[in-house]
Structures are given as C-alpha cells and as structure tokens.
Structure 1
Amino acid sequence: MATISLFIGGIRPLPESGRPTGMYKQPASGPLQLGHEGFVGDQQADRRVHGGPDKAVHLFPAAHYAKLAARFQDAAPQLVVGSIGENISTPDLDESVVRLGDIWRLGTARLQLCQPRNPCWKIDERYGCDGIAQFIAEQRLTGWYWRVLTPGTVNLDDELLLEQSDPTAYTLAEAMLCWQEHRPPLADLEKLAASPGIADNWREKIVKRLDWLRQHANEAPPAVKTFHTKPEQP
C-alpha cells in the first residue's frame, strides 16, 4: 500500500528555448478519469518520447527530491514534489522495491509497471540548472511508467495497492543496473528482455543489444543512452 499525490497539466513553453513541455503539472483538485493513454486532462508535448499506452502514467518517488536538492543546491527551492512532470508521487515506494510487471490497483483502475523513465534535457531547462537529467540517469532516480490495464476513476484519497507481483522478476533498480552495465552477462539481458509486462520499445532495444553483444564478443560495446540530450533543432 502506498499513499499518493496526483498531478496533471497542459502544455507550456520552457523559459529559455520556448519549446513546449508537459512538465508543468498542478495538483489534481478532484477525481480523475484514467484511460489507456493516461489521465483525462493531462497532456504531453513530444509524443515521440512521452505518452502512449506504455508511458501512460509516470510515478516519481518523493524521496528523490531531497537527493536532487542536495546535489543541485541552486535549484533546491524549485525541487518540490510534482515539479518534474510526474502524475503520481509517493513517499512509500522507489525503484528498489517495485518489480517489472507488477500490477497495482489505484481507485478502480489497474496499472502495470513496464519501464523506467528516460530523463530529458528539458528537466535542466525547467529548473535552470545543467546536469540534473544526467544525474538522474546515472543515479537511476528515474521513477517509472505504467501502462493502464483497466481504465477507471482515481480519487484524491485513493492509495496504490499491490495486486500481483512476481518475486523472481527484476526490481526496477536491478533492471536498470543490468541495462546500463558495460557488458552485462547475456543471461541477465535475456531475463530482462523476457520480463512479463516490459514495454515493447524497451524490449526491442534489449534484444538489439543482445544481438550486437553476441556478434561482437571481443569489441567494446557502445554506451547505453540513458537520457535525451538537447537536439540541435526544435
């Protein structure tokens, strides 16, 4: 069981580049309808990397804000719960205690944990502080995305209730560590790719990496991309 705070928001321009973002969310003021694409009333600016069925809802653990504030003191006053674009915040969960494929009930909806969030350069601009997105990726303070298995209604006082979990599945922390390892054991990557409930796009990347590692056993593998850097053009 985990207590939660809920956030939704529209699209706004970033303060420096003016590029659109859905990161500026506000606390929900009443019951929310949750569908397969996320909460009604919530928006994502760049649908290439945000939103969609396997990124319908984002949870960011509340405890991470203190870690970010300690590392980026100039941005500390802005590093408050709800500010990084999450839909759900909780003080009760983090990446070390949830597992890939976990199914949770929230209100009358059912959610499945399917992948970590890849942080984006827009986080740095949102807080006016370089390096936050990279730090989040390197320290694996990403939070995670849920897919919505059963749409429903979520009230402000609802709690997350664990409905189904495979004790042999990777925790999200273990999964990210395996994915980021320079040359992880192939059996570990195979287990990760076979994880029930894992997002299709992440599974495809894992399978491609497995194929490359098998074919280039004596070569240094390319680094795994763990965060989105700022593109040259809008």
Structure 2
Amino acid sequence: MGRTRSGSESMLNQARRAVPTKNGFGRAVLHQLWGPDRGEASDTAQAACHTLALAGAAADTDRIVLQYPEKHYAFWKAELVEFVHLFGPGGFAENLSTSGLDENEVCIGDTIRLGSALLQVSEPVEPGFLLNARFNHPSIARMICESKRTGWHYRIVEHGQFQVGDELVIMERPHPEWPIARVLHFLHQETANRQALEELLKLKPLGRVTRELFQRRFDDLKPEFDQLDALPVRPVAEPEILSPVERSGNDVWRSVLVRGIMIESPAVRSFYLVSAQGGRLPKSKPGAHLKVKLPNGLTRHYSLCSNSLGDEYHIAVGRNPDSAGGSACLHEQVKVGDILHITDPINTFPVDAETEHHILIAGGIGITPFLSMIDYFERSFISYELHFCTRSAKDTPFYRRLSCLPANRITFHHSSGDLRNRIDLNAVLSDLDPDAHIYCCGPTGLMRAVEGATSKFDRKRVHFESFGAAATAQNAFSVKLESSGQVFLVGPDQTILQVLRDNHVDVDSQCESGSCGTCIVKYSQGEVLHKDFVLTADERKSCLTVCVSRAASDHLTLTL
C-alpha cells in the first residue's frame, strides 16, 4: 500500500490519502525477534519494559521497541554491495524484523496487536553515529534518513506474550494523516514548513525525542513567523483572472502593492508584493527574477525568493553602501502601501531538469535565487548542497530558515573579515559527480573565483547570475555597425546595449548583467573589456555581451 507523489504536490495536501482509515488498516508478520542484549534471535519474548528495553534507553518509554521491515534489506544490498554481509535482520538494531508494513503504511499513534501485547507507534527511528560506526561508513545514517527506510519505535500499551510467526495487526488509527514517511519528510526536507510544525506539535502520540526536535525548530523560527503574522492580510485573487498590464517599450508592466516589508539582516529587507488592481500574478519557476521599476525612475532586477502560484511575489534587497539609487531607494523610500511596477517573471537562471545533484554557491544577497531552488529541490526530493558565504551569522540573511535545513545540505562560510576564512572552492568542487551542475550568485569577486575554479568544466554545467547595476568604465568610445556603417558614441555612464536601443537597433536581452548570454554580439575590430560570466576564452576573441562589456580601445566594430 505504497504512496506516490508528484513533484508539484505538497506533502501537506496528501494527508488523508496516505493510508486507510477504517478497520483492516494493514498487518505484518513477525519473522525474527531480539531481546535487549542484542544476542541471538529468539522465538518468544515478553513485551515488557524490563525485557525489551533497548540498552541504555530503559527510561525512554517512547522507544522501548524498534521495528524494521525485512524487505528494506534487499534495497540496501543492491545499493551498497560492499556491505551486503551486514544487511540482514537485526542489522539496524531492531527488536522486531517483519514482512508487510512499512513507513508509508504505519502512522503515528497506531495501536498494534502482537500476540497478547499491545504496542503504539511513537516516532521514526533517527539513525546516528553508531550505525555509521557499525558499517564503517560516514554517510549510512544520512542515506537511511533520505531513503525514508528508517523503521519506527513503539511504546508499550499492554504487556503480553508473542512469538515468531505472529501477526502484527493495526487495531486503531487515530492519525491517518501522519504516516512515518510524512513525519520523516518534515524532519529532513521541508524543515521550515510552519503548518506542518504546528500540526506535529499538537500530535499527542508523537514521541518525546522527535517532539523536542520539532519544538526547538519551531522556537528558532518563531521570530520569523511573528514578522510574517504582523504583515497586512493578503488579498484573495480570483484564480483565473490575471492582473492588468501596461506596455512600455519592449516590456510589459504590472502594478503591484507593497503588502509588507521584513528585515532579514542588518543590510537586507524582504518586500512582499501583490497585484495592485486585483487578479493574480503570473506563476514563477525556480531561479526566476523580476524587473522592478522604482519610484526614482531606475529599473533593477531582483530574484524571487519563492516559487509563486500567483497570489504574491517575495523579493529581498541588500542595501549596497555604493548604491547608484536602486537598493537605497527601496530601503529608504519605499513603504508598505506603495505602488511599484514589475515585469512578469524572467528566468535566465533555471534549474537543469536532468541533473541529479546541484551545487549552489551564494555570497551575501546572492542567496535570493537559491531560496526558490531549495524549496523546489526539497519538495521534489532532488539532491543538492548549498555553500553560503557571508561575513558572520549576524550578517546572514534568512539565517534561521536556512539553519533548519539538514546539515548535509548547507555549509555556512563566515569569513569574519579574514581572507583566510573564505570558502575553499577547490575543496568544494573536488571529486564531483561528472554530471553535477554548479550555480553561483554573489559579489563579482566570488563569481570570478568560481569562474576560475571551474574553467576546465563543461560550460553547460556552470551557471551564473548577477544583478548589480551594469558596471561602467570611465572611458567613452565609439561603436560602428558593420552592415550600415553607422557610428554611435557610448558615454562613460552608458552601456552598448542602451546606446543601440536609443538608436532603434534591436538586440535581444534578458538579465542585463552578463550572466545569461542573450545579448551576445560578434565584433570584428577593436579590443573588448569583457565583464560577462558566460563566454569562454575562445568565444571572447570574437564575441561580447553588449549589456555589460565595453571597449578597451577607442573604437569597436560590431557585426550588426
């Protein structure tokens, strides 16, 4: 009675479809039985605290009996061939080895009749270092958690006798919405899901150890939850009606209302945006960003921090002390209730759909596009690791939220202002799966360092995103169009792309930060100061990105 789940369906929406809710819940057969000394398997035992308490855990009445499905051993034998001799009943320190029920079919609070004893399911097993030591493998415990093949614990409701061959029959199921596999999902994947945390903390039969873990997690996230509660109520949009648009030049703009502003760190603020005129906003995908027209007339690009279904957009903006007016305007001028104008979501930094493992490298406010990616990876059971570079924990935006991720998913690199403490890219990028993809967003120095460290990688595996205002050199130069002979002057505060547009020369563009490659143009004469993150050394001999790159000579001829 397994359970399947599509990548887009929330675990919270599957609650009451996971397992049956009437008598005939399911049953298993006891194959082997071990007592507390973990010696030879026996045929009979008394289900009482003093006989089945695990060594060192007699006082923990929620964890007196451990059950592990025998069928999982076939999976582990195929997955880890070198340890095949260790994978057999009793190998995971279980008291009961059974056929039949598994983590998708057993729920928290189930009462189970085994012989004349009555047991109640209390919590999932949380594998730890002792299992790693048994298998002499540093990642066995993590692999078990990720596979959701952990087994589960019982507390004893009624003492009694049972023996090998007895059936385990589920007699009562008070919480069909909480199978063990679903609890494991929120333990190790959607770790900051507020609704799930609140439901789990109200789950009376949940065992003490797991409950305390969820309580600590909830307490850590409560300041963030309180800030969200303080935001004005989000208006309900009609599901099929999109908000009105206005056209200006090549862009389509929608008016949005600033519903709320949250402080994420001393230098970062989040802005929650809803349609100003009613209707829904277009849906977004992982890695997408918006173009935002600010009250001071500037236009800037900001990543979406979540995958929106159209009810609201969430962006976060870092205050740049050298701001040319973008971040300063949002931090100092924009208030709750103000109107901004945005484009529909643009995705020049998409997730590679065929890749099995993703490496995310973020610096400072460069974390923003990865927040939507992480949400997608967690919900879709996709492997990833995040390396987040900041000065200190205090300066780290979304620190509480990210700290709740599984430890093997995130590594914080706090420099404390010391260059010696910066991320070791050689260590991070060594021994990678040849199909793994690398994504980087952050300050130019970090992105250039990642570009250098991945110079021998297939460029299709390495992705960059940059949202700084286009850098300009202090020299003016001219560009000539090879086809028409027209010559245009590019001033010190202009980009080639801007000048071409001003003179009605159409060039496609997207990110306008040198990271997507949409505006690549060939050139035939002149020297180029390349500022992009997409062209290879060979490609730069004949191509440039006109959104950020400039001439290093007085003249540049474009093959347009």
TM-score normalised by length of structure 1:
0.79
Partner of 1:171: 179
- The residue type equivalent to 2:177 in the other structure is A
Shift of 1:166: 2.6
What SS class does the counterpart of residue 47 from structure 2 fall into? strand
What SS class does the counterpart of residue 222 from structure 2 fall into? helix
Gaps of 5+ in 1: 12-23, 228-234
Partner of 2:205: 197
The change in CA–CA distance for 1:196 and 1:135 in structure 2 (over 3 A counts) is: same
Sequence identity of aligned pairs in percent? 24
Shift of 1:157: 2.5
Shift of 1:169: 2.9
Partner of 1:139: 147
The change in CA–CA distance for 1:37 and 1:103 in structure 2 (over 3 A counts) is: farther
- Contact 2:109 2:175 survives alignment (8 Å): no
Partner of 1:28: 42
Shift of 1:203: 1.6
- Contact 1:5 1:27 survives alignment (8 Å): no
Please give the residue correspondences for 1:36-185 in structure 2 after superposition, counting only pairs within 5 Å. 36=49, 39=52, 43-44=54-55, 46-47=56-57, 52-166=60-174, 168-185=176-193
In 2: Cα distance, 1:175 partner to 1:84 partner: 20
Shift of 1:132: 1.6
Partner of 2:32: 6
In 2: Cα distance, 1:155 partner to 1:81 partner: 16
Q: 1-10 or 89-98, which moves further after superposition?
A: 1-10
In 2: Cα distance, 1:97 partner to 1:205 partner: 23
In 2: Cα distance, 1:37 partner to 1:169 partner: 33
In 2: Cα distance, 1:72 partner to 1:208 partner: 34
Shift of 1:116: 0.7
- Contact 1:7 1:25 survives alignment (8 Å): no
The change in CA–CA distance for 1:91 and 1:124 in structure 2 (over 3 A counts) is: same
Q: 121-130 or 105-114, which moves further after superposition?
A: 121-130
Q: Please, what is the CA RMSD of the aligned residues? A: 2.4
- Contact 1:104 1:160 survives alignment (8 Å): yes
The change in CA–CA distance for 1:54 and 1:225 in structure 2 (over 3 A counts) is: farther
In 1: Cα distance, 2:101 partner to 2:407 partner: 22
Q: Deviations over 1:123-160 (max 9, x none)?
A: 23323444222211222211000000111111223110
Q: Deviations over 1:96-128 (max 9, x none)?
A: 011111000111111010111111222233234
Point out the structure with max Rg over C-alpha. Answer: 2
- Contact 1:103 1:111 survives alignment (8 Å): yes
- Contact 1:59 1:88 survives alignment (8 Å): yes
Shift of 1:65: 1.1
What SS class does the counterpart of residue 122 from structure 1 fall into? helix
Higher relative contact order (CA 8 A, sep 6+): 1
Shift of 1:61: 1.1
The change in CA–CA distance for 1:130 and 1:69 in structure 2 (over 3 A counts) is: farther
Counterpart among 196, 215, 230 of residue 223 in structure 2? 215
The change in CA–CA distance for 1:38 and 1:100 in structure 2 (over 3 A counts) is: farther
How many residue pairs get matched?
209
What SS class does the counterpart of residue 149 from structure 1 fall into? strand
TM-score normalised by length of structure 2:
0.35
Partner of 2:280: none
Shift of 1:38: 5.2
In 1: Cα distance, 2:183 partner to 2:54 partner: 28
- The residue type equivalent to 1:27 in the other structure is A
In 2: Cα distance, 1:131 partner to 1:183 partner: 20
Gaps of 5+ in 2: 1-26, 226-263, 265-397, 409-560
